[in-house]
C-alpha cells in the first residue's frame, strides 16, 4: 500500500488543489497573504498576474506597468497593411482588475533583492515575497551608427507597437507609386523571429492593391531566418519573389545585408558592400533584455539567466524573469512562449508559498504569420525541460512548420486560426 | 440513448474519483492542469475559446478529446497545427488533459447568425441529428456542437464531406439525408443552428 502524504494528496487533486489548499490551511492564508509584485504588463507579466490569482486567490498580486494601455506587438504588422487599426490591438487592464490584481501605472526604477522591494518613480516602494519581471527587450542603439531614439521618431523601428506603428503605416501610405521601403532586420536573438519577414509581406499586401510598382527590400545581417522556406514560397506566390518583377527582395549577410550606419537626413543606409536609399526605412535594431533587468542586475551578457523549471533568476532568489528578456533556450522570444512560461512560473511561485516543490514544467509555442489575405503559415513546438543541461527542448517528432505543399484552403484556415490565436492570447492574459 | 449517457456519466465520475484517490506514483511529469494550461493561447482560458474559429474544448467529453488527439497524432484527421502539437504528448498526458477539460465550464459567446438558416437548421437537427447529438448538440459523447465557433463547424463539415476526416457511416447517412432534403442550404443551416446557441 502506498502512503499518501500531505504533499502528494494535494498534488493528486489537480484541479482540486486550489480549493484544497485554502481549505486546509485557512489560518496560514489569512494571517499572512503572500505578496507578488509583477514588473511589466506585457504577455509574461499579465499572464502571470492572472494565473497567480487563478491558482491561489489568497496571493496578493500587484502589477506595475508604465503604460495605461497595452498595445500588442503581435498582429501589429496587420496595421501596416491597413487590415486593422492600432485601436484594435490596444487594450486596458480592467480585465485583470476583475481577477483581483492591483494595477499600478508607474515606472519601476529598480528591484532590490536584499530588501525584497520594487522601487517606482512616483508610487513609492512595494514589498514582495516573490517578484516577477517581464520587461521585454531593449535596443542596442549603438549597433547602427546614426540611429537613436530621436531618429526613430521619423525612421521608426515599430518593434514596439504604438505611435511608431502608426507613423510607419502613414509613411507607406504617403510614399509615391513605385516607391521603395527598406526593412533592416536584426541579428539573432530577437523578439518575434518571423516578424520582419511577415512585415514585408503585410506591406506588400497593401502595395499590391495601392502601389503595385512599389519595392520592399529586406536587408538582413543573417543568412537564414525563421520559416524561411515558407516565406519564400508565399512571397513568390503572392508578390513575385525571385522574379524580375519581385515586390519583395531579400539580401542576406553573404550578399552584404548587414547595415552599419544610417544618414537620417538623406535616408541613406551604409551596408557592408553598398549604400541603399529608400522612401521609407524601418530599422529593427539588435536587442537585449529590457532596462529594468539591467538596472536590477538580472542580466548575464544580454539576457537574464533562469532556472528553467521555475523561471526563477539564477542570480537573485525569489525574482522570476519571463518572456523576451529571459534566456529561455531553446524557446523563441514569442508571445506564446511568454504566456506558457508565465504559467509555469505562477505555479512554481504558488507551490513555493505552500511549501511544496514545483511540478515538472511543460511549454508550448505556436506562432502564426499572415502573408496575404488568405495565406497563413505557422510553426509550433511542445517543449520539455532537460534538467541536466537546463535547456528547454522541443519534443522530437512533434511540432514543426506548416507543410510546404499545403492547399490554398489550409493556408486560408491558418489565417483564421492566426486571428483566433490573437484573440485567445489576449483574453488569456488580460481577460 | 439517454440511459447510455447516464451510465457513461456515472462511469466517468467513478473513474475521476478513483483517479483522485490513486497514489502519486503514476504522476511523474507535468500535471494535467499544467499541460492543459498550455492550450489556452488558442483554445481560450480553461478551454473556452473567444473565437473566431479555434474550437472550445471546455466541458468536452473525455473520450471525444482522447479520440481527437489520437487521430491528430496519427495524421488521420485533417488539421492545420493540431497534428503537429498532438504528437508532443503521451497517451497518459492526453488522458490527463482530457479530464482537466471535461471538468471545465463551457463559456459561450453570441455569434452572428441568420435567423432563417437557424430555423431550418433546427428542423434538420431534430429530424436527423438529435439522436446522437442530444439536447441540440450540447457537449456529449458525440462531441460539442452547440455554441461551437461557426468557422470551425464549417471546416469540420468540409473535412468530413471531402474525405479529410474519418466519417462515421451513420453520420454520413444522416448528413446525406439532410442534404437530399434541403440541398446546398443544409450545411449552412445546421452550422448556423449550432452556432446560434449560447
Q: How many CB pairs under 8 A join A and B?
A: 147
Q: What is the pLDDT of residues A33-92, one digit of tens each?
A: 999 999 999 999 999 999 999 999 999 999 999 999 999 999 999 999 999 999 999 999
Confidence of residue B82 (pLDDT cuts 50, 70, 90): very high
Between A144 and B27, the higher pLDDT residue: A144
Q: With CB atoms and an 8 Å threshold, state whether A339 touches B41.
A: yes
Looking at every residue in chain B, the average pLDDT score rounds to: 92
Q: Closest Cα to residue A169, out of A91, A280, A321, A88? A: A280
Please tell me the distance in Å from A353's CA to the nearest CA on chain B. Answer: 18
Let me know whether A182 and A255 are in one domain.
yes
Which chain A residue is nearest to residue B155, measuring alpha carbons?
A: A413
Arithmetic mean of pLDDT, A271-286: 98
Confidence of residue B3 (pLDDT cuts 50, 70, 90): low
A8 inside 8 A of chain B by CB? yes
What is the second-level CATH architecture of the domain B115-195?
A: Orthogonal Bundle (1.10)
Confidence of residue B73 (pLDDT cuts 50, 70, 90): very high
Query: Which one of 3.20.19.10, 1.10.645.10, 1.10.760.10, 3.65.10.10 gives the CATH number of domain B32-107?
Result: 1.10.760.10
Query: What is the DSSP secondary structure assignment for residue B103, as one 8-state letter?
Result: T
Indicate the angle between helix axes B169-182 and B150-161, nearest 10 degrees: 110
Between B12 and A84, the higher pLDDT residue: A84
What share of residues in chain B are helix, strand, coil (percent, to 5)? 65, 0, 35
The pLDDT of residue A13 is above 80: no
Q: What is the pLDDT of residues B142-165, one digit of tens each?
A: 999 999 999 999 999 999 999 999
Let me know whether A40 and A118 are in one domain.
yes
Confidence of residue A8 (pLDDT cuts 50, 70, 90): very low
ipTM above 0.90, yes or no: yes
pLDDT value at residue B28: 81
CB-facing half-sphere around the CA of A54: CA atoms within 13 A: 21
pLDDT value at residue A426: 98
Q: Is the peptide bond before A25 cis (omega within 30 degrees of 0)?
A: no
The pLDDT of residue A358 is above 90: yes
Q: Which residues of A touch B27 (CB under 8 A)?
A: 11-12
Residues 345-384 of A with CB under 8 A from B: 347, 359-364, 366, 378, 380-382
Q: What is the pLDDT of residues B179-197, one digit of tens each?
A: 999 999 999 999 999 999 9
pLDDT value at residue B19: 54
Let me know whether A162 and A262 are in one domain.
yes
Let me know whether A230 and A257 are in one domain.
yes
B41 inside 8 A of chain A by CB? yes
Q: With CB atoms and an 8 Å threshold, state whether B81 touches A402.
A: yes
How many structural domains comprise chain A?
Answer: 2
Q: Write down which residue in A230, A260, A285 finishes a domain.
A: A285
Contacts of B79 (CB under 8 A, 6+ apart): B72
Contacts of B71 (CB under 8 A, 6+ apart): B77, B165, B166
Q: Which residues of B touch A413 (CB under 8 A)?
A: 53, 80, 155
CA distance A291 to A159: 16
Residue range of the domain that includes A240: 143-285
Arithmetic mean of pLDDT, A217-235: 98
Q: With CB atoms and an 8 Å threshold, state whether B44 touches A340.
A: no
Q: Write down which residue in A300, A327, A358 finishes a domain.
A: A358
Q: With CB atoms and an 8 Å threshold, state whether B34 touches A347.
A: yes
Please tell me the distance in Å from B76's CA to the nearest CA on chain A. Answer: 15
Arithmetic mean of pLDDT, A263-281: 97
B38 inside 8 A of chain A by CB? yes
pLDDT value at residue A16: 41
Between B24 and A281, the higher pLDDT residue: A281
Q: With CB atoms and an 8 Å threshold, state whether B99 touches A397.
A: no
Q: Which three cell numbers stand for residue A102?
A: 492591483
CA angle (A116, A139, A264) in 5-degree steps: 150
pLDDT value at residue A416: 98
Q: With CB atoms and an 8 Å threshold, state whether B41 touches A336.
A: yes
Any domain includes A309: yes
pLDDT value at residue A32: 80
Let me know whether A294 and A353 are in one domain.
yes
Q: Would B32-107 and B115-195 be classified into the same CATH topology?
A: yes
Q: What is the pTM of this model?
A: 0.91
DSSP letters, A368-429, are EEEEETTEEEEEEEEEEEEGGGTEEEEPTTS-EEPPTT--HHHHHHHHHHHHHHHHHHHHHH
B23 inside 8 A of chain A by CB? yes
Any domain includes A26: no
Most A CBs within 10 Å, among B27, B39, B84, B100, to test the A interface? B84
B91 inside 8 A of chain A by CB? no
Confidence of residue B8 (pLDDT cuts 50, 70, 90): low
Domain boundaries, chain B: 32-107, 115-195
pLDDT value at residue B14: 61
The CATH number that applies at residue A303 is 3.50.50.60
pLDDT value at residue B126: 98
Arithmetic mean of pLDDT, A311-329: 98
Please tell me the distance in Å from A401's CA to the nearest CA on chain B. Answer: 8
Helices (H), A138-216: 163-174, 195-210
pLDDT value at residue A20: 40
Q: With CB atoms and an 8 Å threshold, state whether A16 touches B54.
A: no
* Of residues B40, B54, B88, nearest to A399 (C-beta): B88
Let me know whether A217 and A295 are in one domain.
no
Q: With CB atoms and an 8 Å threshold, state whether B88 touches A382.
A: yes
pLDDT value at residue B110: 97
Confidence of residue A18 (pLDDT cuts 50, 70, 90): very low
Let me know whether A253 and A316 are in one domain.
no
Whole-number percent of chain B with pLDDT over 70 = 86
Let me know whether A226 and A303 are in one domain.
no
Arithmetic mean of pLDDT, A376-394: 97
Arithmetic mean of pLDDT, A364-389: 97
Distance from the first to the final alpha carbon of chain A:
45
Amino acid at each position: 500500500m502506498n502512503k499518501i502524504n500531505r504533499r502528494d494528496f494535494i498534488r493528486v487533486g489537480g484541479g482540486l488543489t486550489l480549493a484544497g489548499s485554502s481549505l486546509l490551511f485557512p489560518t496560514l492564508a489569512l494571517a499572512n497573504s503572500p505578496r507578488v509584485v509583477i514588473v511589466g504588463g506585457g504577455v509574461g507579466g499579465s499572464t502571470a498576474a492572472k494565473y497567480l490569482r487563478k491558482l491561489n486567490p489568497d496571493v496578493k498580486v500587484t502589477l506595475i506597468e508604465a503604460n495605461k494601455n497595452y498595445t500588442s506587438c503581435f498582429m501589429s504588422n496587420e496595421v501596416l497593411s491597413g487590415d486593422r487599426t492600432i485601436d484594435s490591438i490596444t487594450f486596458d487592464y480592467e480585465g485583470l482588475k476583475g481577477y483581483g490584481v492591483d494595477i499600478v501605472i508607474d515606472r519601476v526604477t529598480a528591484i532590490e533583492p536584499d530588501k525584497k522591494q520594487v522601487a517606482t518613480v512616483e508610487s513609492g516602494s512595494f514589498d514582495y515575497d516573490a517578484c516577477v519581471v517581464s520587461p521585454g527587450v531593449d535596443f542596442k542603439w549603438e549597433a547602427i551608427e546614426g540611429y537613436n531614439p530621436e531618429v526613430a521618431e521619423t525612421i521608426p523601428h515599430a518593434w514596439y507597437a504604438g505611435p511608431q506603428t502608426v507613423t510607419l503605416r502613414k509613411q507607406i501610405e504617403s510614399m509615391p507609386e513605385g516607391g521603395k521601403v527598406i526593412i533592416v532586420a536584426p541579428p539573432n536573438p530577437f523578439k518575434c523571429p518571423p516578424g520582419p519577414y511577415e512585415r514585408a509581406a503585410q506591406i506588400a499586401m497593401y502595395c499590391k492593391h495601392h502601389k503595385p510598382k512599389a519595392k520592399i527590400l529586406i536587408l538582413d545581417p543573417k543568412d537564414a531566418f525563421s520559416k524561411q522556406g515558407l516565406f519564400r514560397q508565399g512571397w513568390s506566390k503572392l508578390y513575385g519573389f525571385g522574379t524580375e518583377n519581385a515586390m519583395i527582395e531579400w539580401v542576406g549577410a553573404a550578399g552584404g545585408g548587414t547595415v552599419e550606419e544610417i544618414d537620417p537626413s538623406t535616408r541613406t543606409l551604409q551596408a557592408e558592400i553598398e549604400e541603399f536609399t529608400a522612401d521609407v526605412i524601418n530599422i529593427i535594431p539588435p536587442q537585449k533584455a529590457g532596462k529594468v533587468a539591467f538596472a536590477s542586475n538580472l542580466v548575464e551578457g544580454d539576457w537574464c539567466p533562469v532556472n528553467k523549471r521555475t523561471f526563477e533568476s539564477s542570480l537573485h532568489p525569489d525574482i522570476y524573469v519571463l518572456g523576451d528578456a529571459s534566456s529561455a533556450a531553446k524557446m523563441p522570444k514569442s508571445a506564446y512562449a511568454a504566456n506558457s512560461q508565465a504559467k509555469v512560473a505562477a505555479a512554481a511561485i504558488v507551490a513555493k508559498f505552500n511549501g511544496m516543490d514545483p511540478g515538472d514544467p511543460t511549454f508550448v509555442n505556436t506562432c502564426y504569420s499572415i502573408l496575404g489575405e488568405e495565406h497563413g503559415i505557422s510553426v509550433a513546438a511542445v517543449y520539455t525541460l532537460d534538467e541536466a543541461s537546463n535547456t528547454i527542448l522541443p519534443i522530437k517528432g512533434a511540432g514543426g512548420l506548416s507543410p510546404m505543399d499545403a492547399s490554398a484552403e489550409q493556408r486560408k484556415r491558418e489565417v483564421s486560426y492566426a486571428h483566433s490565436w490573437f484573440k485567445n492570447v489576449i483574453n488569456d492574459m488580460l481577460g | 440513448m439517454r440511459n447510455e449517457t447516464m451510465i457513461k456519466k456515472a462511469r466517468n465520475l467513478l473513474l475521476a474519483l478513483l483517479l483522485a484517490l490513486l497514489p502519486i506514483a503514476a504522476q511523474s511529469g507535468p500535471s494535467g492542469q499544467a499541460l492543459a494550461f498550455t492550450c489556452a493561447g488558442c483554445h481560450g482560458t480553461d478551454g473556452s475559446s473567444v473565437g473566431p474559429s479555434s474550437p472550445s474544448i471546455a466541458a468536452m467529453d473525455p473520450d471525444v478529446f482522447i479520440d481527437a488527439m489520437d487521430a491528430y497524432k496519427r495524421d488521420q484527421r485533417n488539421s492545420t497545427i493540431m497534428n503537429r502539437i498532438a504528437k508532443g504528448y503521451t497517451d497518459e498526458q492526453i488522458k490527463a488533459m482530457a479530464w482537466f477539460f471535461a471538468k471545465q465550464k463551457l463559456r459561450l459567446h453570441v455569434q452572428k447568425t441568420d435567423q432563417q438558416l437557424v430555423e431550418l437548421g433546427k428542423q434538420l437537427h431534430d429530424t436527423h441529428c438529435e439522436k446522437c447529438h442530444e439536447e441540440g448538440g450540447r457537449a456529449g459523447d458525440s462531441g460539442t456542437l452547440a455554441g461551437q465557433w461557426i468557422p470551425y463547424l464549417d471546416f469540420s463539415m468540409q473535412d468530413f464531406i471531402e474525405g479529410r476526416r474519418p466519417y462515421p457511416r451513420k453520420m454520413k447517412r444522416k448528413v446525406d439525408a439532410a442534404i437530399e432534403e434541403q440541398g446546398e442550404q443544409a450545411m449552412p443551416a445546421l452550422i448556423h443552428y449550432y452556432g446560434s446557441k449560447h
